[in-house]
A and B are shown apart, each in its own frame.
Chain A
Amino acid sequence: MRSIRIWFTKKDASKYISHLDLTRCLIRAFRRTDIPLWYTEGFNPHPYLVFGLPLPLGVEGLREVLDIRLTDDSYTNERVLSELNRVTVPGIEFLEVAEPIEKNLAINKAKYTVSVPDVADSKLFYSKIKETVEKGEIIIEKKTKKGGIKEINVCEHLTDFNCSFDNNIINMSFILPAGNDFTVNPVSFCNALFSMVGEETPLHRIVRHKLLTKNLLEFK
């Protein structure tokens, strides 16, 4: 038996598949292949799938991560990749199969981009966004592990924020905490930001580009 790490995208309409549904969707995908997926032992065996970090509903991912185990060591990584791509659904593309190098716990941050393609007065909207982030106080509510709600200031956790304006499209990029201990949801951040800018929430696209370790290195 060996463990492998599978990198995949979750783009376009597949961003609306919830994490729970994604699990069922990928289990079925494996069942449509001949990949020797390891099942848990015991009275009620189930397929063993461990995701690096769930994506919030509505957010696209360019490099998501999933760990599985193969019961047959001779089954190659290349074959896993081609089998999965043979049976996949639109938006989910399998990019790479590799040995896991770090533990999932090493995931600490994530890099996102947000694009806002059409707002009425985009120039004004753009400058208001910059202004709001620069003021340094964007409060969101976050559920605590004990079930309570606490308020946090996203700006205290936001790094590498960039905002550009090009062809009437506003593009933001930033890094937010994302991991087992502490995560700031980019959806909450965007909703809070747009509501402070004072317009109706515009059509926008949030993309998670990569998962990062504490030292801002790419998670492997």
Chain B
Amino acid sequence: MLKEKIERILPLVQKPARYTGGELNSVVKDKKTVDIRFAFCFPDTYEIGMSHLGIKILYSLINSRENYWGERVFAPDTDMEKIMRERDIPLFGLESRDALTDFDAVGFTLQYELSFTNVLNMLDLGKIPLRSQDRGDTLDLPIIVAGGPCVCNPEPLADFIDAFQIGEGEEMMLEFLDLLNDYKKQGKPRKEFLIAASKIEGIYVPSLYDVEYNDDGTIKSVTARCGAPERVNKRVVSDLDNIFYPENFVVPFVEVVHDRVVHEIFRGCIRGCRFCQAGFWYRPIREKSVETISKQSQRLACTTGYDELSLCSLSSSDYTKITELLEELLGWASPQKINIALPSLRIDNFSDELKEKLALVRRSGLTFAAEAGTQRMRNVINKNITEDEILSTCRKAFTGGWTAVKLYFMVGLPTETDADVIGINELSQKVVNEFYNNPDKPKGKGVSVSAGVSSFVPKPCTPFQWEPQDTKEELHRKQQLLLETCTTKKITFRFHNTDLTFLEGVFARGDRKLCNVIEAAYNNGCTFDSWDDKFNYDGWMKAFDECGISTQFYANRRRSYEEILPWDHINSGIKKSFLIAENEKAKKAQTTGHCRQQCASCGSNSLNGGKCDALNKNMVH
């Protein structure tokens, strides 16, 4: 019945191949012979979700078990959703076209705060009660799990998710499903399963934690019940060479955002930029060997037919053997007409040798994350690059034939003055001058500097987790200041929508009181909040009003070091004392060297048996 209903609406929607399944390497199993069915939900459209590496890894991982079947589910686009609601078609798995309620577990990946309403919308479309407490006492309705970087602070979704998977999923996911399989077979109650699951390292069951508040709205205490751990450790995979990696990727029919082989070359980041959540959250450093990367990528290129391989990490040029890796990869990729893309390069170690290798790799745009306009500001955020390094790299690039440079900046950083903001203009102007002063510049062409200026959002698990976010008005004023002080058409500015930034700021450091707000906003029609054209600011403001919640309390308030933070019971491994020390250094504009220069004792290796590849390998760039 459902299959036929779906078949009937496919001709009526845009890009139906997003809803048909049947792509190369997608996995179809006989549902009668599988024990556990898992629906992997990405709370955004197919094109975005199919670009995500994590979903590919976990999809293959689950399906590598003969008796488990993992399927994919994406947020239907607006036209599809409308028809599904009109015709009472529940959200379904792409592989089986069965409704979400037919699954044993439904998992969401939380990549950005502004996808939270889509999670609720997908649950609702799947006819699953939004709140965990309304899902009954049995395991009949699917267990709702969530993972991804946002679970660094899972609290704003605490009422909707049965269990969070904190950290890396390659091992935790199967342990979780094995337990679910056992409990289902024995017909045990839902709550008993959740209590047992909370004993798995990395699993956080929010309903087992009681939160008490002070009169001023801050947290008084968080108490674990039923034997759940007081603090939930982030799960860390120890050895990337011996951990599961897919032999193939599902290859979509429609063009998606990242349509290529992706290979993660290492996890973590040695840099310690103080604004960067990923830089701390994904620690400790673990590198994959050249041999493993090469062997696995070659296999993937073979099984997918992709003509591009992208190496991914937080800072690719910090991979200790990057030149050797590129040599090895180019050895087999070039004859097969496969391009290698190397995003996330840092300015300071963009060596000549590397540039030579990259010349063999197809040239893409040149993008530098300078992050701030003045040296003082860059010291505050510990972005350890100097103006000279930026300019000399641009000089080399211009000599090499580049004429367009993208620079990324932020405004609204802690301790920022107007001089720092104007510094963004000055630095961009110096890049323009560098072009015209270069005798070897490309002939007959002008230069274009595109400055992407985003607004700083203080994030949990960073040294700035206590800092107030600039108000919308202040961010807007700084954007105007940039426009007013810019005197050339060679520089173009792109700004982030401050309404979105502001909302992201509220949810990044939110607590459980925000669950009501998310549900209210969803009821006011908010979905796809990260899409500029779909973002409904008024719906959100109305929701905050209805729930009596002050946005200022979450976004623009300075926390004291003593305050219990909503995510304090999630242990990222990073010590609070380290974050406090880094925050104090930031106030004095003092920098901290990268992890290979000197270990700053962040503590993250405590979750990896004391191991960290930044300590073991003393290659210094």
A positions within 8 Å CB-CB of B:
12-14, 16-18, 20-22, 24-25, 27-32, 39, 45, 57-58, 87, 89-91, 203
Contacts and interface: CB of A to CB of B under 8 A. Distances in A.
B253 A17 contact: yes
Given A17-B253, A25-B253, A203-B4, A30 B305 contact: yes
Given A28-B251, A32-B304, A21 B17 contact: yes
Interface string B305-318: 11100000000000
A28 B304 contact: yes
B337 A32 contact: no
A31 B22 contact: no
Contacts of A90: 22
Interface stretch (B6-14, B37-45, B151-159, B327-335): B6-14
Contact of B7 (A45, A91, A203): A203
Given A32-B304, A89-B22, A89-B24, A57 B255 contact: no
B386 to A, nearest CB: 37
Given A13-B22, A31-B336, A58-B11, 19 more contacts: A12-B22, A13-B21, A16-B10, A16-B17, A16-B253, A18-B15, A18-B17, A18-B254, A21-B255, A25-B24, A25-B253, A28-B251, A28-B305, A31-B306, A32-B303, A32-B305, A39-B337, A57-B16, A203-B4
Interface in B262-309: 302-307
A57 B18 CA distance: 13
A101 to B, nearest CB: 30
A200 to B, nearest CB: 10
B16 A16 contact: yes
Contacts of A18: 15, 17, 253-254
16 contacts: A16-B10, A18-B15, A18-B254, A21-B17, A21-B253, A28-B24, A28-B251, A28-B305, A28-B307, A31-B306, A31-B307, A31-B336, A58-B11, A58-B16, A87-B305, A89-B23
Contact of A32 (B10, B16, B302): B302
Nearest to B251: A28
Nearest to B306: A28
Contacts of A203: 4, 7-8
Contacts of A32: 302-305
A45 B305 contact: no
B8 to A, nearest CB: 5
B22 A24 contact: no
B20 interface: yes
B16 A24 contact: no
A39 B336 CA distance: 12
A29 B307 CA distance: 11
B305 A16 contact: no
A87 B304 CA distance: 9
Interface of B: 4, 7-8, 10-11, 15-17, 20-24, 251, 253-255, 302-307, 336-337
Given A14-B22, A18-B17, A24 B306 contact: no
A165 B11 CA distance: 24
A24 B252 CA distance: 10
Q: Chain A interface mostly helix, strand, loop or mixed?
A: helix
Nearest to B307: A31
Most B-side CB within 10 Å, residue of A22, A39, A57: A57
Contacts of A58: 10-11, 16
A20 B23 CA distance: 15
A29 B17 contact: no
A29 B302 CA distance: 10
Nearest to A25: B253
A27 B305 contact: yes
A28 B4 CA distance: 30
A32 B261 CA distance: 14
A27 B303 CA distance: 13
Contacts of A39: 337
B254 to A, nearest CB: 6
Given A21-B255, A24-B255, A203-B8, A31 B305 contact: yes
A28 B253 CA distance: 10
A13 B24 contact: no
Contacts of B23: 89
B139 to A, nearest CB: 32
A72 to B, nearest CB: 15
Contacts of A91: 22
Contacts of B302: 32
A206 to B, nearest CB: 10
Most B-side CB within 10 Å, residue of A31, A45, A58: A31
Contacts of B255: 20-21, 24
Given A13-B20, A57-B16, A21 B304 contact: no
Contacts of A30: 305
A81 B557 CA distance: 67
A14 B303 CA distance: 19
Given A21-B253, A28-B304, A32-B302, A45 B10 contact: no
- 4 nearest CB pairs, A to B: A28-B305, A31-B305, A13-B20, A16-B16
A32 B299 CA distance: 11
Contacts of B16: 16, 57-58
A13 B4 CA distance: 13
A18 B304 CA distance: 19
Nearest to A203: B8
A203 B87 CA distance: 14
A51 to B, nearest CB: 16
Nearest to B24: A89
A142 to B, nearest CB: 19
A64 to B, nearest CB: 16
A17 B252 CA distance: 10
Nearest to A24: B255
A89 B25 CA distance: 8
Nearest to A191: B11
A23 to B, nearest CB: 11
A87 B251 CA distance: 12
Nearest to B21: A13
Contacts of B7: 203
A17 B17 contact: yes
Contacts of A45: 337
A185 to B, nearest CB: 13
B401 to A, nearest CB: 14
Contacts of B254: 18, 21
A185 B7 CA distance: 21
A16 B20 contact: yes
B433 to A, nearest CB: 32
Nearest to A26: B305
Contacts of B303: 32
Nearest to B16: A16
A114 to B, nearest CB: 13
Nearest to B11: A58
Contacts of B336: 31
Contacts of A87: 305
Contacts of B304: 28, 32
Contacts of B306: 28, 31
A170 to B, nearest CB: 16
B564 to A, nearest CB: 52
A39 to B, nearest CB: 7
Nearest to A45: B337
A65 B17 CA distance: 21
A28 B255 CA distance: 13
Contacts of A28: 24, 251, 304-307
Nearest to A39: B337
